[in-house]
Structure 1
Amino acid sequence: MTRRSRWIACAGPFLFPWGEAGSRRVYGLVASLAAAGYDVVVAGGGPEPRTMTPLPGVDGPGSVSHIGLAEKPPPEAGPLGSSIQTLLRWGQRTVRWLDAQPTKPSHVLVHGGQAQYMFHLQRWCRRNNVPLIVDVVDWFNGRYVRGGYLGPLHASMKLAMHYYYPRCDGVIAISSYLEAHYRRAGMPILRVPPTLDVKNLTVDARPTVDDSYPLTLVYAGNPHGNKKDLLGTVIEAVGRVQRDGASIELQIYGPTLGEVRNLFDGRSLPDGVRCLGRVPQAEVASALQGADFSVLIRRPERATDAGFSTKFCESLASGTPVIANLTSDMGRYLRPNREGLICRDHTLAEVTEAFRAAARLSGEQRGLMRQAARSQALESFDYRAYAEPLGRFFRHWD
């Protein structure tokens, strides 16, 4: 039997190596595969780079290179051009690129693209006898996508989830919810949470916080694009705790001041709520490290339980404990009064009580939580921890 080549093609309409949540997810997976000894080529959706370019900074005997295939519609395409490309042509450029390679990959790993990508890639993989592995990170909900439940994007997502994904050769699932769902289909499956380069993330050593310092909370994200985040509830809770006499500050990164006020029904924001706008992804870690806690309050529903917040992992990696209600698999990694504080549910009363508990903590207690958060991230979210299981999973088809 002829041994397969040892390079993996990773494809999808995501920006790489940075630019969106999917970028960070893919970076963690391909870094793990490189650490397992595979050479990985990421065929991303952006226009750059136009030629194969090595990605530095990845540990392991393998390597990561990337190329942009411009599958993602450019901003100047407009609504009609974007719809034609995403609904009719997604995946075609990737298949042409695969055909042009001098040797076939040992595997194709796909992230995103829904039914359109899956249609083209499944045909190519079957024709060329190459196993197709899909990375599944969401249970799509029509209320959160453009066009709603009756729109073509939601239909494409549902078709991918229920028809194309179960017909792949294997699944990488971001959560135990998705793992259980696709395991029922009887296919090879591996659960891998969001991962990143925790080991090489520089964490500033903070001295023990003076008890008189204000409690600093941080939210980083886009509550308009991700309606699962209940930022309005967080702001209301901050106002209530301030009225109790506690010194508390909430720093909001991502939305503009106007967008935040709209979430707060147009009312004036409480004192201490600071809207700092968008910052480059590389600066998010610094913003997190400057806070005592990050805050992640989400509506409990199937879409939330099936996904897994990258922000949660990034916060622990930065040594910043988290205040959150438990959704998805967070309960595996967030222990009460260790890596953070747990809200019993997502209601205003419970979030307010969690903030009051945080304000009562001493500087020493906050410092111990920071250490526990960082330790948990090194053990659970560093990409190197998944090199062996991912390598073993992909060798199933060698």
Structure 2
Amino acid sequence: MTGAGTWIAYVGPFRFPWGEPGSRRVFGLAQSMAAAGRDVVVVSGESGPKTPVTVSTAGAGLLRHVGAGERPSADASIVSKAVQMVVRLGERTVRWLDEQPTRPECVVVYGGGAQYMARVGRWCRRNGVALVADVVEWYAPHQMPGGALGPPHLSAKFALRHQYPRCQGIIAISSLLERHYRERGGRVLLVPPTLDVFEVKPGGHAVTTEAGPLNAVYFGTPGRKDLLTTIIRATDAVSRRTPVTLSVYGPTVEQVRDLLDGADLPSSVRVPGRVPQQDVEAIVRNADFSVLVRPSERFTHAGFPTKFVESLACGTPVIANLTSDMGRYLQDGRQGFVCVDHSSTELERVLRRAAMLPRSQHEEMRVAARATAESSFDYRRFAQPVAGFLDSLHGRRYAIDGTTGPAVARTRRSRGDDIT
């Protein structure tokens, strides 16, 4: 139970504090809210803890976590899982909010789709509580199960286009999303992925060709975003004449072979498989470069890769093509190397360049990468902007379920949509 005072409920069917990329997003933003003086309760989708437990006491506010049980259990039947995730999603979160002795200052929603958003939105309207959407994606149909007409895509599409613009505030992960919702009359705050950078131990050395092969690393779940096949094939091509290895953390060997149409793994590629999120830091810190290549499409420009931020925080330079806002933080030859496109040929060129980099310049890149993370992605940097944004929400009208507010009217008048 929460006590009296100003507090924020940060809700969604995500795992917390570990388990998926969204976990890091929520943790970083919640820490900024706590640093801004708010008490924050993260209400995640897991079944526990049953009562809020303290996660962090850093800053002026308190960060706690409770599980609402929105995610179905692993042993639930397919029908039971479908009913919970499609029909009943949001009921348990609303029940938890109703049980609290005081109402939160605002509710921040991360994920869940249209059904979840509708239930939480109705609760906020009934109780006079501000509703904020934390928007981190603009999904393409091929990213979602069932494609364009599948329930997950239709749900996400409705939330992105119709429900989020009616919120009293939006926190956007990229400038593309910020611009999109601001043009529709929304009150928007841009916050990229953040973390406690000063808790991350940076790497203190570089292992280039002067001491052995270039050690590149890929970590994460490629899904429909990351071009892991391109990364593997480029590494294989380069390794035939230049000493370079690639370690792939996240997918299994079988999953990687499927990406390669069943072919065996090249000798230059290692696939240790999935590791706990807590262990990723040490793996990245000990690599020479992390590699991230994505297609230049709307959904890759709307999101922002958390793994990019994590690599810089570890002091590990990044090899990547520029999507989203990465060009603001990755300068060629400074925090890493920039690929001009996402082709295998271009990545081969850059990998050869990285393998020939003198140790002294690699050390300079490590220092620059870490410095960029400290100045741009530490959660403390956003405490004041978050505080001002939350203060600005008081008195703003929330419109949903057919009602019309200023944001809705602006949406209907807007032209030149750059994202829909």
TM range (shorter): over 0.9
Change (3 A) 1:169 1:140: same
* 1:369-388 paired onto structure 2 within 5 Å: 369-388=365-384
Deviation per CA, 1:218-251, whole angstroms, max 9, x where unpaired? Answer: 000112xx211111111111111122x2110100
TM-score (norm 2): 0.91
The aligned residue for residue 323 of structure 1 is 319
What's the counterpart of residue 86 of structure 1?
Answer: 85
* Structure 1 counterpart SS, 2:199: coil
1:18 and 2:14 aligned = no
State the shift of 1:381 in Å. Answer: 0.7
Aligned-pair distance for 1:210? Answer: 6.3
The TM-score with structure 1 as length reference comes to: 0.96
1:290 aligns with 2:268: no
Residue in structure 2 matched with residue 148 of structure 1 by the alignment: 147
Provide the residue aligned with 2:306 in structure 1: 310
1:279 match: 275
Task: Rate the CA distance shift 1:261–1:75 in 2: closer, same or farther, 3 A.
Answer: same
Aligned partner of 2:244 in structure 1 is: 248
1:317-358 Cα distance to aligned partner (Å, 9 max, x none): 111000001000000100000000000000111111111111
Separation in 1, partners of 2:151, 2:264: 38
Q: Partner amino acid for 2:249? A: Y
Residues 178-214 of structure 1: CA distance to partner in whole angstroms, max 9, x if unpaired? 0011011111100000001101112242267562421
- Alignment partner of 2:233 out of 209, 231, 236: 236
2:53 — aligned with what?
A: 53
Structure 2's unaligned 5+ residue stretches are 395-420
CA deviation string 1:59-109 (max 9, x = no partner): 201011111011012211232111111111111111111111101001111
Give runs of aligned pairs for residues 1-398 of structure 1, distance below 5 A. 5-56=5-56, 58-206=57-205, 211-223=210-222, 226-243=223-240, 245-398=241-394
The amino acid that maps onto 1:67 is V
CA gap of 1:167–1:260, structure 2 versus 1, over 3 A, is: same
Please report how far the alpha carbon of residue 41 of structure 1 lies from its aligned counterpart in structure 2 after TM superposition: 0.7
Q: Deviations over 1:96-128 (max 9, x none)?
A: 111111010011111001101110111111111
Report SS of the residue matched to 2:197.
Answer: coil
Indicate the SS of the match to 1:171: strand
Which whole-Å CA distance do the structure 1 matches of 2:335 and 2:58 have between them?
A: 27
Contact 1:208 1:364 in 2 (8 A): no
Once the two structures are TM-superposed, the CA of residue 5 in structure 1 deviates from its matched residue by 4.1
SS at 2:341 equivalent: coil
- AA at the equivalent of 1:249: T
- Which runs of structure 1 show a deviation greater than 3 angstroms over 4 or more consecutive aligned residues? 207-210
Letter in 2 for 1:231: L
> Greater CA deviation, 259-268 or 33-42?
259-268
Distance 1:207 1:88, change over 3 A: closer
Q: Distance in 2 between matches of 1:318 and 1:218?
A: 13
Rounded Cα–Cα distance in structure 2 between residues aligned with 1:202 and 1:393: 31
Q: Offset of 1:268 from its aligned partner?
A: 2.5
Aligned AA (1:167) = R
State whether residues 206 and 362 of structure 2, in contact with CA within 8 Å, keep that contact through their aligned partners in structure 1: no
Per-residue CA shift, 1:8-60, capped at 9, x if unaligned? 0111001111111111100001100000000001111001111111113x420
C-alpha distance in 2 between matches for 1:49 and 1:267: 44
Count of aligned positions:
391
Report the Cα distance in structure 2 between the residues aligned to 1:210 and 1:257, rounded to whole angstroms.
Answer: 27
C-alpha distance in structure 2 between counterparts of 1:392 and 1:283, whole Å: 35
Tell me: CA distance 1:334–1:204, structure 2 relative to 1, closer, same or farther (3 Å).
Answer: closer
1:294-332 deviations in Å (ceiling 9; x for gaps): 000011110110000001000001110000010000001
Q: How far apart in 2 are the matches of 1:76 and 1:221?
A: 26
Which moved further from structure 2: 333-342 or 251-260?
Answer: 251-260
Distance 1:267 1:155 in 2: 35
Contact 1:209 1:367 in 2 (8 A): no
Contact conserved, 1:208 with 1:367, CA < 8 A, in 2? no
Task: Give 3-state SS (helix, strand or coil) of 1:109's partner.
Answer: strand
Question: RMSD of aligned C-alpha atoms?
Answer: 1.3
Following TM superposition, by how much is the alpha carbon of 1:217 offset from its aligned partner in structure 2, in angstroms? Answer: 0.3
